[in-house]
Structure 1
Amino acid sequence: MNITVSTHKLSGYRATLRTAKQLATPAVKLVNRTVTGRMPDVQITLTNPRGMAELATLAEVELAGGGVDKRVAQREERHAAREGRSVFGRAVPLADGSVLVLINVDRVESPGEFAITLVHELVHAMQFSRKGVRERIIRDRRHCFNIERQSRRQSREQERCHDEEEREAYSREYLADHIVPGARAA
């Protein structure tokens, strides 16, 4: 498993990047030990809400197999940008089997918040490696991009599984206290 940490469309965040690099390896090791699944290669990118929307949409178009109508992709990017203002982070599976973890630096104000966000998103990265999860996500993305319709049953299953995965990720945020003592107290 390889871990890379970088920035996208940010300048002047050298200290934040340094902190991210210091916290990434212990966070990956901790989540890998405590969560069921196999940790894929992880690309951690620090960015702003607009950059999150851009990178996530590009990754999802590639995951869906390409051939997406430009207007549909732009609509999804606008939706992601609106949602991205209030989101701390986002994990997106990539077509090559790795995971892109996007961190919104406008929302993450301390190393403790960064550790909590990182642990949460790394739990999602572990979930992507489980049987059937990646295929379900690809099917949902293909539906969102109007490539291939999914049935109502599949749509309800996606929503139910997504809610379960979110609950699991929130329940593991306590692990951030092992990386940055007192992270959840802040």
Structure 2
Amino acid sequence: MSTHKLPGYRATLRTAKRLAEEAVPVVERAVPGKMPDVQIILATGRGMAELVTAAEVETAGDVDKWVQARALRAAKRAADDVAGRTVPLADGGVLVVINVEQHPNEAVFATTLVHELVHAMQLSRKGVRDRIVSGLRNDLGVERLSRRQNRECERCLEQEEREAYSREYLARSVVPSAA
């Protein structure tokens, strides 16, 4: 766990480490799959956009510079409304970036952390990482999917998002006030 362009957040980092140590075993027990190598980074909205875009570009592969810049601009526009993102890494690990500006207390942070760790567990399931990467390559214009494949990717993403929201109750066992 680390921070990105976040001076003066040492206490927040300590709290985040403690919550992550408690949340990982809870999520591992409750969600099918195997917990991959997870890097958790705390950042502001703008820093989150930079990290996520860089990880997506690296994972997608051969991405044009213009497309990278457009993806970064889009991520920066949406960053203030996003509490966290989970992105597969090229080396097989998972990057979880959490926007500290969206978390006023431990309970909200624990809920977001559990949600993103559920997504990390989903990435360990058979075929999910490949589907996410192919959808990412489609979004970045590297390799196009057919309309049917794109709809299937969107449907699976919605299903995984519903599962992650349905498991947010696990945050209550990490922080009792997360109810």
Gaps of 5+ in 1: none
Report the alpha carbon displacement of residue 32 of structure 1 after superposing the two structures with TM: 0.5
Corresponding position: 1:63 with 2:59? yes
Partner residue in 1 for 2:35: 39
Q: Runs of 4 or more off by more than 2 Å in structure 1?
A: none
When the two chains are superposed, the root-mean-square deviation of aligned CA atoms in Å is: 0.8
Partner residue in 2 for 1:163: 158
Matches within 5 A, 1:13-162: 13-65=9-61, 67-162=62-157
Report the alpha carbon displacement of residue 144 of structure 1 after superposing the two structures with TM: 1.3
Report the alpha carbon displacement of residue 25 of structure 1 after superposing the two structures with TM: 1.1
Length-normalised TM-score, structure 1: 0.94
Report the alpha carbon displacement of residue 91 of structure 1 after superposing the two structures with TM: 0.5
In 1, Cα distance between the equivalents of 2:79 and 2:123? 21
1:12 is matched with which residue: 8, 17, 20? Answer: 8
Q: Secondary structure at the match of 2:21?
A: helix
Q: Secondary structure at the match of 2:81?
A: coil
Report the alpha carbon displacement of residue 166 of structure 1 after superposing the two structures with TM: 0.5
Q: Secondary structure at the match of 1:11?
A: coil
Q: Secondary structure at the match of 2:143?
A: coil
- Paired AA for residue 103 in structure 1: I
How many equivalent pairs are there?
179
Report the alpha carbon displacement of residue 79 of structure 1 after superposing the two structures with TM: 1.0
In 2, Cα distance between the equivalents of 1:82 and 1:32? 33
Percent of residue pairs bearing the same amino acid type = 64
Q: Secondary structure at the match of 2:103?
A: coil
In 1, Cα distance between the equivalents of 2:68 and 2:88? 17
Corresponding position: 1:174 with 2:169? yes
In 2, Cα distance between the equivalents of 1:85 and 1:157? 28
In 2, Cα distance between the equivalents of 1:162 and 1:146? 19
In 2, Cα distance between the equivalents of 1:182 and 1:42? 25
Q: Secondary structure at the match of 1:150?
A: coil
Which protein is richer in helix relative to its size?
Answer: 2
